[in-house]
Structure 1
């Protein structure tokens, strides 16, 4: 390897929140001040306003703000009557099929609503849940108890919704979108959040649309599901202190909603900047002659399905000798991250699901090869050049 320390003249952070805040500082601070003056801190008018704006952005009639993306996943399933908080009331254990290559909340939310997670492998090109793998499960003995499929729009690209919609028609099941990383993404022009029976978004600070803390959102086209979710997020209450069922405290803070509504106005431009940066990364890697069709041939660049509008929550490559490359970049103060190093079926806490190494080879290969590079709207072209030059030097 070449000593690149002289040619790499600057650190490149994985994410720099200060750049975005600098652009919208006064709008955000004014929005926060309005909440403070109103003294309506939880489920105040700013929450209602943001819910309406988010519903419009997602082309759905209903949006329900909540405390986190994890809660949004639980709310989406619980409001659709999937599972039960009491296993004795659900002896058949409703099953939900999802991906083993996702953040832990995708599976933990299924367990929390009293359902049983069933896993199926991913499409190795998009990293999203494979419809063919899902249908194989549906056609197996496990398929009889499946009530819903939970595809994840990983890294900001929608799952193959044409295929999942066809599965829904053939098997009479619910489709719940894990759209935590995909606000502003679309499939055949239909926004994420409007594709399934319900969808869950996260506004964790690293997301494309991000709060100044935890926050989440459920979207749906169903008035009954919307109503049920609103009850569940407030301890099962429709009327104060009258609890119709066992819910949870998952209300959205007004300050977070106010911040999110400011940012929502900028999001289309920010997402386009991410797409432009992704295209520039592609060009830089190809110009450096680093790319290949597999990791045996070189770096594998992200694939965008032509039916998808990708929002590049992450720019993720497959890299030969991934762990050594990441350490090399770290030594040069160049940010990177692995999403995700251990597939869910191999997590210690989920061993009781009964899966073993080798059950989902595409997910396991991805976990060993993927590397996310710096990606945010304010990233500069010279910083991208620094990242690619460092990677070129590593493989030299």
Structure 2
């Protein structure tokens, strides 16, 4: 009973190709069964006035049976008729038109449902708009038009010419309109399916990116733990590993590190946090790097919690890169701001080996955790480096134009990402 009660809930059909085809099956059944309903009241009168009552009833029964069968088949298949069934449907409509003059009185051929043949042929033309094969549709329309000419025979006076032409044009117009309706609706469904597939792929890529961002620092810490090192270094790495472990667990549970849903709070909304404590907390985890942290100018600065979380991950990733690759003797972290409400600039510079900062060659750490995440949070990022001259990463609270030339003594290669979204 539940499945039957839901059979006609067209409004609940999915907006997919399968859902559209099923809606077409409802449309087909409605048109064909509606035609039978119009044929029923006149059947007794038609048989009584027909010169061949048995023949009339046979033709009427064939039309009614075919309409019910088509309705049942389309509802079961959940899509319009196939090519073979459409050919048979057209053939029956043509046969009924050709046989019409034999079972109808001449005065009943126009304007009454005792002459059901033209109305039945019109219902076939309307529902045949869903046939996939264009050739079948065109040939079927032509065959019905020829059959209607045979139905008229030579008994139509000149005063009925306008009615005849109007009826033929009705076939053509309804055929074209329904064909356009079926075709356009199918195209909408295809586009909707393609859009959903695209959205699913983008969601998959975004989730993959988020996983990379959340897991990158933890993987880097675990890799460093597997390398040889003294007890002090390993103890510091264990502390960092615990921090990253909590972050990864939060991600796997679908919650942010602070207990909210991941990605639920937009930048500029929700709670804020102090910028200096965030930077100092990360620097303390990398005390072995000989970090010179100059943060006094940023005292009192507060930033959105989501922005602070992204900045903490990015700064941790930068310092992990310094530890793993830079071979630096000193790291300078400098925070500059004109006041608690002013724009701020955070600079991280190491005197290590440097690299060629071509964005296409960036790993996940720089590309996603640093540049990608900070830009998504409305922060501008610039990376300047040169082989043998160290690396400088600058994070700004709002984008500013990048200088086209570099001053003396500064690295000559620069990768700028100042165009925050």
- TM-score band w.r.t. shorter chain: under 0.3
RCO higher in structure (CA 8 A, sep ≥6): 1
The structure that has the greater radius of gyration is: 2
TM-score (norm 1): 0.20
